[in-house]
Every structure is written in structure tokens, then in C-alpha cells.
């Protein structure tokens, strides 16, 4: 059965009063960071939601942020929806880690300008908020959009009646921008990493509310929208609310009052934290007692034992700041959920929380693009002293060892299609009539993905998708069907799982690939983090993806590689190496680097006169044939 054949989006009759929806997303949160998933970080509000709902231990996103967000809001694969890759990674290839002597095979140039790689939510999909708005829902969002930088791509153009949206991939959480001296320029890596570019409804935001801290700002905006909705006293008009935080994405920054809660907590280092969390997860029933965790892969950075006293202190502080960011998210979730409870809306609201991918483990200090001018820039314009870490004029990340403390027992982290990159924490509190399996506070090991959210929400709301067979239209244009599947039959106990056992799920990000069918998964990870060939794992017996079965079971491997070929055919993946199928060398028109952003908002004068810094990008076509 193909992935598209297995997908469905049922639409049942709506209840007497249709449910509300609150979808909450964290940015680069690790699997075990929340206390209800085995962590030590204080998350009482999310824990409370989990105690009244269901936690999922086999829930999956894409390996990176905007692809996952595209899937959440469309119910289909990100290679179809326009975010085949992060546009920032397509724009320049030095975000990738090419293998020795084979750099042309890991260049992102072949993806530039191709269908499905537009860098924004394209016209082939209908967005979930568009359908909710059409069906009479009040639609609102506050937080990270990352699905288009220009006014015609704003949330307001894809169904959100009210929106306060962070447009790029990441930025300074305090809105801090250094004032450059003399002829200094922003280093290449920093251009799209520090400016807090926002839109409000149809306009760019000229100045952020003060004092500004990202998570507090988005929590406040959502609270304002919900209050306005309730005060209209239209009891028959339910709401669809989307609250995607930019935290805890780097730069790691948090209010001091949250950071202080974690002073000394991480002094034993990331390996000790990893062991503590694994033990807690076993005690909570979140993983098997005999689980074998994948070894930590972090050759590019020092081990804990090799670090100096000062290096250990700064590394611990980075983790303390990260924990503070997570607690601040929880506090803002709490004030929104508390308001729903005060206004008697919570009981009839589907609330869910997830991360958009695995924990961020990149050791950016080892990237050539970061070395040199970037380090000099940080030394001149930022204060990364121990006491100042976490404040607006600091700029840090925490690296692969802390990340793998959060993704254990899984392999690797964000940007990789191993379980550490794509398995994410997911919890949901259901409205009346959808109590879930396992009772309140239960744990489900059923396989599901972020693509299942849109069909589930439409099903609960009694709304039909306009193109269930892929042949329908929306507002006069043809649109694709959803590849996800409604969770409702599973939640009502009518089916054993969300997907049938022969369901096929594929992943691809920057030449890292995977396919899963049932308990088995094949993974392709380029060097240096992988062997640069397909590997085969039985996830039921080996969730850490340690014991490669490719040589033992070549027939299964061959069969699953054919599933990968089918996934490429169905979704339009542009492979970055011959080993991944229909590889094509980049055309000359695709070769220029750093010219593939529609709006170069980081340049001098760009935010004063945006239209002068727009680019008309070339669009190419590609014919994909069955192999």
C-alpha cells in the first residue's frame, strides 16, 4: 500500500457544539525535556495537560522546523507543500556537511527553484486555517510562522483572521540588534539569525512591544485574541488557535528568574543528565526497561572530561538557560490554558503540544561558515561572559552532547532522519467524547505524525477537505489531498492504531533520508555522521537504531528501498546524491549561492522599504518518472 493510498481524512457529523482547538508548538525541544516526558525542567502546566490527556511516544515530525510547520498546517508532506527544505539551507550549501571529495553530491543547488522547494506554503495545498475560517471558526495565531517572508505569504493570506507572526527561522528572543561600527558587516551565518522580523495581520511590525521577550510576547498576544473572541459573546463560533513558540531555538536566552531555577542542576555534565533522564523515562513507562540507547556521536566537540573548568561552567550555563526557556514556554501555556478554564472553554477544547523536530545538536563553532568573522563579530558586539549568558546581548547554543541527553535513547538529533531528529514529544487533551485510549494520563505507543493533526482536527470539527482524492479544487485552483490520517477512530477505540501496519512514511532533509513501514525503518545518513549507505533497523527491538540488519536481511532492505523510490515519486523529493535515486546535477542557473530568498530583510534599509529588497526568483520544472 502506498503512503497516499493509506491516508484518509474522514469527516464525521459535527457535535452539537463544535470543539475549539489550541495547537502549541515548541522549537527544537528535545524528547525528554518536559518533566512529564522524563525531564527535570519545571513544566507544571504541560504536566497538568498530560495528566488529563494522552502522551505519545512514537509521534513524528520532519527533521527540521519549517517542513514540520508546513505538515502541521496542511496534513501533507513538506516536499509537496513548498518546504522541501528550509529555504535558508537551500539558499546556501555551507549549512550542509559534505562528505570528503563528494561535496557536489551534498550541495543543495539541485533543489533551488524546483517545485516543492519554493520556501513558502505554496498554491498546491489548502491550509488548515483556511478551511476552519470557511467553516465559521475564529482563527488566530501568535508565534513562529516560517512559511513565507512577504505580505502575500503572511498568515493572514492563509486563513488566519488575527496573527502576530515571527516570519524567519530564528532571531534574538529579546529583539536585540547590535549597532555596527565603521564598515563592519553582519557575518553570513548571522544575517538570518538575529533580526526579529514580525508581521501583524497584513503589515510588517515596525517596532516590537516593550519590554519584549519572545515567549511572553506570543503568550500575551494569544491571550489578547482569546479575550477578544470571548468578549464578542458569540457562543456558537468556536476558535482555532495556533501558538508556535520560537523557543528554545538558539540563541539561548531567557529571563533571569527562570534561569536561576537551574543553577547547579547540570554541573555533572550531559552524560550524567542523559543517564538520569533515561532512568526516569523507564520508571514512567516511556521506554522499555532494557532499552539500549544509541552511543553519543559528537567527535567534533570535546568530551566533558576534556573540558577546562571555565568551559564546563559555560556549558552548564548554556543548559541552564535552555531549561529556563522551556519553563518560560510552560508559564505562557499556563496563562492561556488558565484563561480557557476560567471562561469554561477548556473542557470543549482540543489542546495539543509538540516539538517541531528533535533537539538542536549542531556544533556551530566547528562550521567553516561560523569560524573567523562570525566569532570575531560575537566577541565585538556580544557579551558571552559566564554571568551574562542568557541575556539579550549574549549569543550561544548548547551543542551535540546536551542535545543527545534529550533525544536518548534515540540516535542523533535535529536535521537527521534518525529517530533523534524526527521523534518528538506529543501530548494532547481531548474535548468531550474523545478521551483517548489508556485513560487520562495515559501513554500511547501508536505510530503517528504531525500530518495526522489536520485530518484529526477537520474530523472533530465536522469539516470536509475539498480534495480527498487529490482531484479537487480550492478557490478555483487544484489542491492535493492530505497524506495524514484522522486519529479519531483510534481515539474512540474503533481501530488499534492511527495507521494500518503497512503504512509507509518517508523523510528527507538535506540528503538525509529514511522510510518506515511497520516496525522496520531504513536510514541513509551521509558521512561523517553515518556510513553514507542505506541501513536497516527493527525499531521495536532496537529503538536506538544501533544494530544494522542490512546484511542479514537484504530482501527486506531491497523492498524498502523501492518504498523510498515510491516516496520520491509521490512527493517530488529532489535527491542530493545518486544513492538516493533520481539525482540530477544542478543546472547553471541553480549554482549561484545566497540569492534564493524572496525578501533580503537583513540588508541596510530593507525594513524601511521592503519592496526594494524583493527578489523575483526563477522557477524550474522537473519530470519524475517511476523507476
More confident residue, 582 or 489: 489
Closest CA to 3 of 483, 519, 451, 467: 483
Task: Say if CB 64 and CB 361 are below 8 A apart.
Answer: no
Residues 105-133: tens digit of each pLDDT: 578 999 999 999 999 999 999 999 999 99
Residues 475-526: tens digit of each pLDDT: 999 999 999 999 999 999 899 999 999 999 999 999 999 999 999 999 999 9
* CA–CA dist 70, 125 (Å, integer): 10
Residue 573: strand, helix, or coil: coil
Q: Reply yes or no on whether 65 is catalytic.
A: yes
Q: Work out the pLDDT band at 368, boundaries 50, 70, 90.
A: confident
* CA–CA dist 135, 236 (Å, integer): 12
Measured in degrees and rounded to the nearest 5, phi and psi for residue 232 equal -70, -20
C-alpha cell at 520: 522496520
Give pLDDT, residue 100. 47
Cβ density class 368-404: b for 16+ within 10 Å, e for less = eebeebbeebbeebbebeeeebbbbebbbbbbbbbbb
Q: Which of 60, 146, 166, 465 is catalytic?
A: 146
Q: Residue 1 pLDDT > 50, yes or no?
A: no
Residues 248-273: tens digit of each pLDDT: 999 999 999 999 999 999 999 999 99
Residues 197-248: tens digit of each pLDDT: 999 999 999 999 999 999 999 999 999 999 999 998 777 899 999 999 999 9
Give pLDDT, residue 501. 92
Q: Work out the pLDDT band at 96, boundaries 50, 70, 90.
A: low
Q: Which of 65, 316, 328, 517 is catalytic?
A: 65
State the residue for C-alpha cell 544513492: 579
Residues 391-446: tens digit of each pLDDT: 999 999 999 999 999 999 999 999 999 999 999 999 999 998 776 555 688 999 99
Task: Say if CB 346 and CB 18 are below 8 A apart.
Answer: no
Q: Work out the pLDDT band at 2, boundaries 50, 70, 90.
A: very low
Q: Work out the pLDDT band at 9, boundaries 50, 70, 90.
A: very low
Q: Residue 189 pLDDT > 90, yes or no?
A: no
Q: Residue 449 pLDDT > 60, yes or no?
A: yes
Q: Work out the pLDDT band at 4, boundaries 50, 70, 90.
A: very low
Closest CA to 360 of 310, 286, 314, 421: 421
Q: Work out the pLDDT band at 624, boundaries 50, 70, 90.
A: low
Looking at every residue in the chain, the average pLDDT score rounds to 93
> Is the peptide bond between 336 and the residue preceding it cis, with omega within 30 degrees of 0?
no
Closest CA to 530 of 580, 568, 569: 580
Give pLDDT, residue 81. 98
Measured in degrees and rounded to the nearest 5, phi and psi for residue 297 equal -115, 105
- What phi-psi label fits residue 250: left (phi over 0), alpha (psi between -120 and 50 degrees) or beta? beta
Amino acid at each position: 500500500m502506498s503512503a497516499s493510498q493509506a491516508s484518509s481524512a474522514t469527516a464525521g457529523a459535527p457535535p452539537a457544539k463544535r470543539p475549539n482547538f489550541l495547537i502549541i508548538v515548541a522549537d527544537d525541544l528535545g524528547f525528554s525535556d518536559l518533566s512529564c516526558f522524563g525531564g527535570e525542567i519545571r513544566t507544571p502546566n504541560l504536566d497538568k495537560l498530560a495528566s488529563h490527556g494522552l502522551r505519545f511516544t512514537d509521534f513524528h515530525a520532519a527533521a527540521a522546523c519549517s517542513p514540520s510547520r508546513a505538515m502541521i498546517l496542511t496534513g501533507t508532506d513538506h516536499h509537496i507543500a513548498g518546504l522541501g527544505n528550509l529555504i535558508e539551507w537551500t539558499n546556501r550549501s555551507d549549512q550542509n556537511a559534505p562528505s570528503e571529495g563528494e561535496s557536489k553530491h551534498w550541495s543543495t543547488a539541485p533543489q533551488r527553484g524546483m517545485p516543492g522547494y519554493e520556501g513558502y506554503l505554496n498554491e498546491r495545498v489548502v491550509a488548515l486555517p483556511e478551511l476552519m475560517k470557511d467553516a465559521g471558526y475564529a482563527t488566530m495565531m501568535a508565534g513562529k510562522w516560517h512559511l513565507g517572508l512577504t505580505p502575500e505569504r503572511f498568515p493572514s493570506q492563509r486563513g488566519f483572521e488575527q496573527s502576530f507572526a515571527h516570519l524567519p527561522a530564528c532571531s534574538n528572543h529579546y529583539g536585540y540588534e547590535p549597532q555596527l561600527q565603521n564598515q563592519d558587516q553582519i557575518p553570513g551565518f548571522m544575517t538570518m539569525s538575529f533580526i526579529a522580523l514580525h508581521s501583524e495581520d497584513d503589515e510588517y511590525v515596525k517596532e516590537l512591544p516593550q519590554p519584549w521577550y519572545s515567549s511572553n510576547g506570543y503568550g500575551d498576544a494569544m491571550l489578547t485574541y482569546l479575550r477578544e473572541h470571548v468578549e464578542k459573546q458569540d457562543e456558537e463560533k468556536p476558535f482555532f488557535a495556533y501558538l508556535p513558540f520560537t523557543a528554545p531555538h538558539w540563541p539561548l536566552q531567557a529571563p533571569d528568574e527562570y534561569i536561576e531555577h537551574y543553577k547547579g542542576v547540570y554541573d555533572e555534565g550531559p552524560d550524567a543528565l542523559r543517564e538520569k533522564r533515561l532512568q526516569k523515562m523507564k520508571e514512567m513507562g516511556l521506554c522499555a526497561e532494557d532499552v539500549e540507547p544509541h552511543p553519543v556521536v559528537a567527535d567534533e566537540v570535546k568530551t566533558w572530561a576534556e573540558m577546562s573548568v571555565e568551559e564546563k561552567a559555560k556549558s552548564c550555563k548554556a543548559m541552564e538557560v535552555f531549561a529556563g526557556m522551556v519553563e518560560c514556554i510552560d508559564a505562557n501555556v499556563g496563562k492561556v490554558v488558565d484563561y480557557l478554564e476560567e471562561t469554561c472553554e477548556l473542557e470543549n477544547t482540543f489542546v495539543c503540544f509538540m516539538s517541531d523536530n528533535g533537539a538542536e545538536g549542531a556544533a556551530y563553532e566547528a562550521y567553516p561558515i561560523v569560524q573567523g568573522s562570525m566569532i570575531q563579530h560575537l566577541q565585538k558586539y556580544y557579551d558571552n561572559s559566564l554571568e551574562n549568558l542568557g541575556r539579550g546581548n549574549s549569543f550561544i547554543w548548547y551543542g551535540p552532547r546536551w542535545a543527545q541527553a534529550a533525544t536518548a535513547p534515540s540516535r542523533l538529533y535535529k536535521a537527521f532522519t534518525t529517530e533523534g531528529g524526527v521523534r518528538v514529544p506529543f501530548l494532547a487533551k481531548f474535548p468531550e467524547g474523545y478521551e483517548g485510549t489508556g485513560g487520562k494520563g495515559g501513554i500511547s505507543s501508536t505510530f503517528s505524525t504531525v500530518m495526522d493533526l489536520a485530518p484529526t482536527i477537520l474530523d472533530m470539527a465536522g469539516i470536509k477537505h475539498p480534495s480527498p482524492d487529490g482531484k479537487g479544487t480550492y478557490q478555483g485552483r487544484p489542491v492535493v489531498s492530505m497524506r495524514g490520517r484522522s486519529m479519531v477512530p483510534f481515539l474512540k477505540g474503533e481501530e488499534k492504531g492511527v495507521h494500518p501496519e503497512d503504512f509507509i512514511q518517508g523523510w528527507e532533509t538535506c540528503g538525509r533520508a529514511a522510510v518506515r513501514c511497520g516496525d522496520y525503518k531504513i536510514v541513509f545518513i551521509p558521512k561523517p555522521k553515518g556510513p553514507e549507505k542505506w541501513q536497516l533497523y527493527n525499531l521495536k527491538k532496537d529503538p536506538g537504531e544501533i544494530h544494522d540488519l542490512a546484511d542479514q536481511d537484504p530482501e527486506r532492505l531491497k523492498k524498502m528501498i523501492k518504498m523510498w523510490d515510491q516516496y520520491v515519486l509521490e512527493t517530488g523529493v529532489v535527491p542530493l546524491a545518486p544513492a538516493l535515486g533520481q539525482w540530477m546535477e544542478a543546472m547553471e542557473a541553480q549554482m549561484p549561492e545566497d540569492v534564493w530568498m524572496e525578501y533580503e530583510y537583513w540588508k541596510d534599509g530593507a525594513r524601511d522599504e521592503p519592496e526594494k529588497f524583493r527578489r523575483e526568483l526563477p522557477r524550474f520544472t522537473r519530470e519524475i518518472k517511476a523507476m
